[in-house]
Structure 1
Amino acid sequence: MARVRYGARTEAEIAASREKSARLPDIWSTGVVAVWETDPEVVAAVLPPPLKPGDRPLVRANISTVDLPGYPLGAGSVAVAARHDGVEGWYPLVMPMTHERALTGGREVFGEPKKLGEVTVERDGLVVRAALARHGIAFVEVRGAVDRPLPLPEPATKTDFYFKFLPAVDGSGLESDPVLVHCTRNEKVRRLERVTGDVVLRESMFDPVADLPVRRLVEITIGEKTTDQKGRVVERVSARALLPYVHQRYDDPMQVLDGPPEGSV
Structure 2
Amino acid sequence: MARVRYGARTEAETAAARTASSKLPDIWSTGVVAVWESDPDAVAAVLPPPLKPVARPLVRVTVSKVDLPGYPLGAGSFAVAAAHGDVEGWYPLVMPMTHERALVGGREVFGEPKKLGEVTVERDGLVVRGVLARHGIAFVEVRGAVSGPLPLPEPGQRTDFYFKFLPAVDGSGFDADPVLVHCLREEKVRRLERVTGDVVLRESMYDPVADLPVRRLVGITFGEKTSAQRGRVAERVSAQALLPYIHQRYDDPLQILDGPPEGSV
Q: TM-score, normalised by structure 1?
A: 0.95
The alignment partner of 2:242 has SS state of helix
Shift of 1:252: 2.8
1: CA distance between counterparts of 2:103 and 2:178? 19
Deviations 1:211-248 (A, max 9, x none): 00000000000000000000000100011110000000
Shift of 1:57: 0.1
Letter in structure 1 aligned against 2:56? R
Cα 1:79–1:175, aligned 2, differ >3 Å: closer, same or farther? same
- Kept after mapping to 1: 8 A contact 2:184/2:229: yes
Find the counterpart in structure 1 of residue 263 from structure 2: none
- Kept after mapping to 2: 8 A contact 1:247/1:253: no
Aligned residue runs from structure 1 range 26-41, under 5 A: 26-41=26-41
The alignment partner of 2:203 has SS state of coil
Runs of 4 or more above 4 Å deviation = none
**Match status 1:113 vs 2:113:** yes
2: CA distance between counterparts of 1:24 and 1:49? 35
Find the counterpart in structure 1 of residue 12 from structure 2: 12
2: CA distance between counterparts of 1:135 and 1:2? 43
- Kept after mapping to 1: 8 A contact 2:27/2:68: yes
1: CA distance between counterparts of 2:4 and 2:190? 45
- Kept after mapping to 1: 8 A contact 2:205/2:253: no
Provide the identity percentage.
Answer: 83
Find the counterpart in structure 1 of residue 90 from structure 2: 90
1: CA distance between counterparts of 2:85 and 2:11? 39
- Kept after mapping to 1: 8 A contact 2:205/2:252: no
Letter in structure 2 aligned against 1:86? D
Find the counterpart in structure 2 of residue 104 from structure 1: 104
- Kept after mapping to 2: 8 A contact 1:80/1:90: yes
Find the counterpart in structure 1 of residue 224 from structure 2: 224
Deviations 1:37-59 (A, max 9, x none): 00100110000000011120000
2: CA distance between counterparts of 1:223 and 1:91? 22
Deviations 1:153-182 (A, max 9, x none): 000010000000000001111111100000
**Match status 1:78 vs 2:86:** no
Deviations 1:109-142 (A, max 9, x none): 0000000000000000000111000000000000
- Kept after mapping to 2: 8 A contact 1:48/1:242: yes
Find the counterpart in structure 1 of residue 156 from structure 2: 156
Letter in structure 2 aligned against 1:16? A
Aligned residue runs from structure 1 range 177-256, under 5 A: 177-252=177-252
The alignment partner of 1:139 has SS state of strand
2: CA distance between counterparts of 1:253 and 1:136? 15
Gap runs ≥5 in structure 1: 255-265
Find the counterpart in structure 2 of residue 69 from structure 1: 69
Letter in structure 1 aligned against 2:175? E
Find the counterpart in structure 1 of residue 146 from structure 2: 146
Letter in structure 2 aligned against 1:160? D
- Two-structure CA RMSD over aligned residues (Å): 0.8
**Match status 1:123 vs 2:113:** no
Find the counterpart in structure 2 of residue 262 from structure 1: none
1: CA distance between counterparts of 2:253 and 2:137? 19
2: CA distance between counterparts of 1:22 and 1:54? 35
The alignment partner of 2:91 has SS state of strand
The alignment partner of 1:63 has SS state of strand
Q: TM-score, normalised by structure 2?
A: 0.95
2: CA distance between counterparts of 1:126 and 1:241? 47
Letter in structure 1 aligned against 2:221? T
- Kept after mapping to 1: 8 A contact 2:206/2:253: no
**Match status 1:170 vs 2:153:** no
* Count, aligned residues: 254
Find the counterpart in structure 1 of residue 262 from structure 2: none
2: CA distance between counterparts of 1:236 and 1:160? 16
The alignment partner of 2:12 has SS state of helix
Gap runs ≥5 in structure 2: 255-265
Shift of 1:253: 6.6
